[in-house]
Amino acid sequence: TCWLSFFFWSVIATGFSPVVLGLAVLGTFLAIGYTAGPAPLKYLGLGDLAVFVCFGPGVVAYSTTILVGYVPLEVIVFTVPTTLYVIAILQANNYRDMEADQHSGARTL
C-alpha cells in the first residue's frame, strides 16, 4: 500500500505527467513480470534487461521528472555506467546459480 500511495501522489503532484505515469506502469509490469505471470522475464532470459531498466534509467527518469519536471539527457547517460555495475553483480549471482536455474527452467545470459 505504501507503493500505491507514492504512485498516486507522484502522478497527481506532477499534474498527471505522461512520463511519470508511463514509467510507473512500466516499472510495475517489469517488477511483477520478473518472476510472475504466464511468461516470467527471468525464465525467458530477459531478467537482466528488466533489472537494468528498473534500477537504472527508469527509476532515475521517474524521480527526476517528479523533482524537476523533465529528464535531461545527461542524467540518463550518467546512470548507464552505474547500472552496468548492478548488472555485473547480478551476472556474478547468475553464474553462481547456473545449475539451479537450469533445473528450474530459468534462462540467464
What pLDDT digit, counting tens, does each position of 59-80 carry?
999 999 999 999 999 999 999 9
Task: Flag whether pLDDT at 102 surpasses 90.
Answer: no
The mean pLDDT value for 18-39 works out to 88
Q: Please indicate whether residue 1 or residue 9 has the higher confidence score (pLDDT).
A: 9
Percent of residues, the chain, with pLDDT higher than 90: 40
Residues 6+ apart with CB under 8 A from 14: 20, 65, 66, 69
Q: Band the pLDDT of 26: cuts 50, 70, 90.
A: very high
Is pLDDT at 52 greater than 70 in this prediction?
yes
In the block, cell 517528479 appears at 66
Average pLDDT score, the chain? 86
- Are the C-beta atoms of 98 and 108 separated by less than 8 Å? yes
Tell me: pLDDT of 53 over 80. Answer: yes
Rg from Cα positions in the chain: 16
